């Protein structure tokens, strides 16, 4: 029997509390929600507890992916639960103690020991056939050639599997065969498996990053994919000659509401204002109030959420956002720009939520503060010469607000 | 080389047209869209052609399920394509002629011969484990005891598989263990597999149909499920003692916008106005403009479409709506009634779209006209004594408007 921790910090604890009693356990849960500031509240905390129950032992990273919460939140919750004797730590990740197991089975009525996610398709609902499995092998090879991410414009690379599943998904839904497909940004190189499918009439990739465009060109030439690349800053309209020229657009915009509206506006231009078309949108899972704004923006453009799969996309290195995003297939008619205006100064997450991150050198242990604007992790070299770091902490950058 | 038909009726045809030429084929497609009045237009027609390409030979019913279009539309399209030499008929369903195959491969660039839907989960993303497989066997048995459907209140029975997958889906998402679950209408008996899962704290079923409630009571008593049933007409608020008492609500309302708003309002009452909670909504795939209204209603109640799976639910005997509906998991916070008013005279499809249906006796061939209000198919007995009929035609009931 242990006591309630305080944000994971060691504090002396005056009383022993028995969490087998429902009221005490509820008190603990509510305190954790308050202290750790879990925006979705009690429900998300239960998701963490349930996820560990069904998958133990499980790493913090994997919990974050499953419950779609940022890692620091999951990590704080885990620490408090450990301090209170409910969880313990093993090499393979978080585990319930016998005491903890008894508490959640009694008070939260947990009983399902293994989730029902389809083992064949991992919940995505589609599989890669022989053709797409071969495409995946090529994509794996090419994705190693990607340049270092530029976090100031929210770059973050989807895994080769994700890019290939996206292409297979679009192919399955009939959105590639004979279609003209536009990518509004493509740091994930989703255009490569799309091109390798050899199904589209035309593929155009627009992006602001020269490094990515030249890599796409290089692969396209080598594989004879006929992908056209256009350097473009989405703060401006896409070039007039590309208005109303496409059937399908794929985009994975910055995960801010203004970034979303901006990128979706460019999608609408490509499909043709007043016309119809399909958008594939990858975007991060948000707290409900923001999520509602996301869906209202989509509907305001006369697009229906025709299909919506949480956790479809996995990313490399971006553990901080829980590492997965949803994929939405949006079908529109009489399409138009979003109703609301766009704030061009709030496009990227670094602009909306200025954050300080602390990175520790994996070689010598030195710690560096990174604000993401003046100093970026991808350019950091330790005084010892190493370039390998691990993020150990992040906090709001009050100076920047 | 055949000619363009006219709504499937034989007409003399003055000219031979070669559809291998893209312009001629486009002309045919546009003419079909106009004549058959496919509300989603060219896109849906392509869906039909693609579906046959990937699944041939395929029955009209199966095409309707896959493309989510009403059977009479699919049937008319099929007939015109046959008359123009693009499709042919076999015992197992629609097939391309060699001529037709060449046309769609050349003009629509079809190349994927088999879709990528996951064979393990049929695209639903979850599987039935041993426990739910056993539950399915029981549900199959009990579903045979269901009374005859009452089409005047849009009853239409989901298959036992559908009911069981729904329960498994809710269980997987953590919405059953220790939860209080309300069913706003339950002609599908989804409460039975939910109860058999033995996970919930409480299950309450409200429905207007005494026959269903007594069947649910009978099964609940026999299996010791402890399901509580309440007879209720959803045109009125649910009884006050059930306000704010549930964590999760399941509903499969009448497929009209007013029916949707009404049933969702009752869900909100059960979850608690101003509170939070989860709704599972089964509803039919609609043309985009109506679909947009559906999603705007959901968002106006402060519910996010957290997950949205088209074609999740299959129904027995209701081939006319393409036989599948979507399943949406809606997560709400600060929840409220929908913004717009509800027209209590437009709840059921028979009230919104008065339809005359013609049924042919399978024994003697006599044909009967059914308006769904004064005369209903479930009560029909042929003069020859048979009760088995097949719908052969339907049309708008202009008298009723």
**pLDDT tens-digit series, residues B197-233:** 999 999 999 999 999 999 999 999 999 999 999 999 9
Q: What pLDDT, in 10s, does the model give residues A212-237?
A: 999 999 999 999 999 999 999 999 99
Residue B80, pLDDT > 70, answer yes
Mutate to test the interface with A, among B292, B311, B326, B338 (most CBs of A within 10 A): B292
Contact between chains at B110 and A178 (C-beta distance less than 8 A): yes
Partner-chain residue, chosen from A111, A305, A309, that has the shortest CB–CB distance to B177: A111
Q: What is the largest CA-CA distance in chain A?
A: 71
Contact between chains at A292 and B299 (C-beta distance less than 8 A): yes
Partner-chain residue, chosen from A112, A178, A310, that has the shortest CB–CB distance to B307: A310
pLDDT of residue B398: 61
Phi, then psi, of A239 in degrees rounded to 5: -55, 140
Q: How far apart are CA B330 and CA B16, in angstroms?
A: 53
The dihedral formed by the CA atoms of B273, B277, B282 and B283, expressed in degrees to the nearest 10: 40
Q: How far apart are CA B69 and CA B44, in angstroms?
A: 8
Contact between chains at A132 and B110 (C-beta distance less than 8 A): no
Label residue A241 exposed, middle or buried (CB < 10 Å: 0-12, 13-18, 19+): exposed
Contact between chains at B50 and A129 (C-beta distance less than 8 A): no
Cβ contacts (< 8 Å) between B288 and chain A: which residues?
Answer: 302, 304, 331-333
3 state SS of B387:
coil
Q: How far apart are CA A140 and CA A132, in angstroms?
A: 12
Mutate to test the interface with B, among A40, A45, A121 (most CBs of B within 10 A): A121
Q: How far apart are CA A27 and CA B76, in angstroms?
A: 63
Cβ contacts (< 8 Å) between B125 and chain A: which residues?
Answer: 117-118, 121, 123-125, 309
Contact between chains at A288 and B333 (C-beta distance less than 8 A): yes
pLDDT of residue B242: 98
Residues of chain A with pLDDT under 70: 1-15, 153, 317-322, 350, 352-354, 372-378, 394, 396-401
Q: Which residue of B has its CA nearest to A302?
A: B292
pLDDT of residue B347: 76
Partner-chain residue, chosen from B112, B171, B332, that has the shortest CB–CB distance to A171: B112
Q: Which residue has the tokens 């060691």?
A: A10
CB pairs under 8 A between A and B: 153
Cβ contacts (< 8 Å) between B46 and chain A: which residues?
Answer: 174
Partner-chain residue, chosen from B289, B304, B310, that has the shortest CB–CB distance to A306: B310
Phi, then psi, of A283 in degrees rounded to 5: -155, 155
Are A323 and A314 in contact, with CB atoms under 8 Å apart?
yes
Residue B11, pLDDT > 70, answer no
Contact between chains at B304 and A310 (C-beta distance less than 8 A): no
pLDDT of residue A373: 62
Cβ contacts (< 8 Å) between A339 and chain B: which residues?
Answer: none
Are B347 and B258 in contact, with CB atoms under 8 Å apart?
yes
Cβ contacts (< 8 Å) between B308 and chain A: which residues?
Answer: 305-308
Q: Which residue of A has its CA nearest to B114?
A: A172
Partner-chain residue, chosen from B121, B172, B302, that has the shortest CB–CB distance to A125: B121
B164 forms beta bridges with none
Mutate to test the interface with B, among A29, A50, A172, A174 (most CBs of B within 10 A): A174
Partner-chain residue, chosen from A118, A128, A309, that has the shortest CB–CB distance to B127: A118
Q: Could you give the C-alpha distances from B283 to A35, B97, B209, B313, in angstroms and in order? A: 40, 36, 20, 9
Partner-chain residue, chosen from B292, B299, B331, that has the shortest CB–CB distance to A304: B292
Partner-chain residue, chosen from B117, B121, B307, that has the shortest CB–CB distance to A172: B117
> Comparing C-alpha atoms, which of B315, B306, B184, B299 is closest to residue B251?
B184
Mean residue pLDDT of chain B comes to 88
pLDDT of residue A292: 95
pLDDT of residue B7: 43
Determine which of A392-401, B50-59, B70-79 has the lowest per-residue pLDDT on average.
Answer: A392-401
3 state SS of B98:
helix
Q: Which residue of A has its CA nearest to B124?
A: A125
3 state SS of B316:
coil
- H helices present in B40-150, as ranges: 42-55, 60-67, 71-83, 98-107, 130-143
Q: What is the residue-wise DSSP string for A285-329?
A: ---HHHHHHHHHHHHHTTEEEEEEEEEEEEBSS-GGGTTEEEEEE
A331 forms beta bridges with A278, A304
Cβ contacts (< 8 Å) between A297 and chain B: which residues?
Answer: none
Contact between chains at B126 and A116 (C-beta distance less than 8 A): yes
Partner-chain residue, chosen from A46, A47, A121, that has the shortest CB–CB distance to B125: A121
Considering only residues B43 and A50, tell me which one the structure prediction assigns the higher pLDDT.
Answer: A50
Q: Chain B closest CA to A381's CA: distance in Å?
A: 41
> Comparing C-alpha atoms, which of B165, B231, B232, B155 is closest to residue B194?
B165
Please tell me chain A's helix, strand, coil percentages from 3-state DSSP, rounded to the nearest 5. Answer: 40, 20, 40
Cβ contacts (< 8 Å) between B111 and chain A: which residues?
Answer: 177, 198-199
Contact between chains at A295 and B302 (C-beta distance less than 8 A): no
Contact between chains at B295 and A299 (C-beta distance less than 8 A): yes
Q: What pLDDT, in 10s, does the model give residues A21-70?
A: 889 999 999 999 999 988 778 889 999 999 999 999 999 989 988 898 88
Q: Chain B closest CA to A172's CA: distance in Å?
A: 6
pLDDT of residue A375: 65
Contact between chains at A125 and B125 (C-beta distance less than 8 A): yes
Beta-carbon-side half-sphere exposure of residue B144 (alpha carbons within 13 Å): 5
Token pair for B38: 């496919």
Contact between chains at B308 and A304 (C-beta distance less than 8 A): no
Q: Chain B closest CA to A4's CA: distance in Å?
A: 24
Mutate to test the interface with B, among A118, A129, A166, A298 (most CBs of B within 10 A): A118
Residue B376, pLDDT > 70, answer no
Q: What is the residue-wise DSSP string for A54-114?
A: HH-SB-HHHHHHHHT--HHHHHHHHHHHHHTTSEEEETTEEEE-HHHHHHHHHHS-----S
Residue B50, pLDDT > 60, answer yes
Cβ contacts (< 8 Å) between B115 and chain A: which residues?
Answer: 172
By DSSP bridging, strand B367-370 and strand B355-361 are antiparallel
Cβ contacts (< 8 Å) between A124 and chain B: which residues?
Answer: 118, 125
pLDDT of residue B13: 36
Q: What pLDDT, in 10s, does the model give residues B264-318?
A: 999 999 999 999 999 999 999 888 999 999 999 999 999 999 999 999 999 886 5
Label residue A356 exposed, middle or buried (CB < 10 Å: 0-12, 13-18, 19+): middle
Mutate to test the interface with A, among B177, B199, B201, B274 (most CBs of A within 10 A): B177
Cβ contacts (< 8 Å) between B333 and chain A: which residues?
Answer: 288-289
Contact between chains at B199 and A332 (C-beta distance less than 8 A): no
Residue B263, pLDDT > 80, answer yes
Phi, then psi, of A116 in degrees rounded to 5: -105, 15
pLDDT (mean) for B93-101: 95
Token pair for A102: 């008894």
């Amino acid at each position: 029997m242990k006591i309630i921790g305080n944000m994971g910090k060691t504090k002396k604890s005056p009383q022993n509390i028995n969490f087998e009693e429902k009221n005490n356990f509820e008190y603990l849960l509510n305190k954790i929600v308050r202290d750790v500031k879990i925006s979705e509240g009690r429900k998300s905390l239960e998701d963490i507890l349930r996820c560990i129950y069904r998958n133990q032992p499980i790493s913090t990273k994997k919990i974050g992916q499953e419950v779609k919460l940022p890692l620091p939140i999951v990590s704080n919750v885990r620490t408090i639960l450990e301090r209170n004797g409910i969880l313990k730590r093993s090499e393979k990740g978080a585990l319930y103690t016998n005491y903890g197991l008894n508490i959640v089975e009694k008070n939260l009525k947990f009983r399902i020991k293994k989730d029902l996610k389809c083992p064949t398709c991992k919940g995505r609902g589609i599989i890669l056939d022989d053709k797409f499995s071969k495409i995946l092998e090529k994509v794996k090879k090419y994705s190693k050639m990607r340049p270092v991410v530029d976090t100031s414009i929210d770059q973050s690379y989807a895994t080769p599997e994700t890019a290939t599943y996206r292409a297979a998904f679009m192919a399955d839904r009939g959105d590639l065969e004979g279609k003209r497909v536009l990518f509004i940004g493509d740091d994930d190189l989703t255009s490569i498996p799309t091109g390798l499918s050899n199904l589209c009439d035309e593929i155009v990739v627009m992006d602001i990053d020269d490094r990515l465009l030249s890599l796409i060109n290089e692969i396209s030439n080598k594989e004879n994919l006929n992908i056209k690349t256009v350097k473009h800053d989405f703060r401006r309209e896409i070039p007039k000659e590309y208005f109303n020229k496409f059937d399908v657009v794929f985009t994975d915009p910055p995960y801010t509401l203004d970034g979303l509206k901006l990128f979706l506006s460019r999608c609408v231009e490509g499909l043709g204002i007043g016309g119809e078309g399909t958008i594939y949108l990858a975007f991060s899972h948000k707290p409900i109030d923001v999520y509602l704004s996301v869906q209202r923006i989509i509907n305001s453009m006369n697009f229906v959420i025709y299909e919506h799969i949480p956790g479809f996309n996995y990313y490399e290195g971006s553990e901080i956002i829980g590492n997965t995003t949803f994929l939405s297939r949006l079908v529109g008619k009489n399409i138009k720009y979003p109703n609301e205006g766009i704030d061009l100064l709030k496009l990227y997450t670094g602009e909306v939520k200025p954050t300080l991150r602390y990175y520790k050198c994996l070689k010598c242990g030195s710690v560096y503060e990174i604000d993401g604007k003046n100093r970026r992790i991808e350019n950091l070299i330790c005084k010892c010469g190493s370039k390998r770091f691990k993020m150990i902490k992040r906090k709001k950058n009050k100076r920047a607000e």
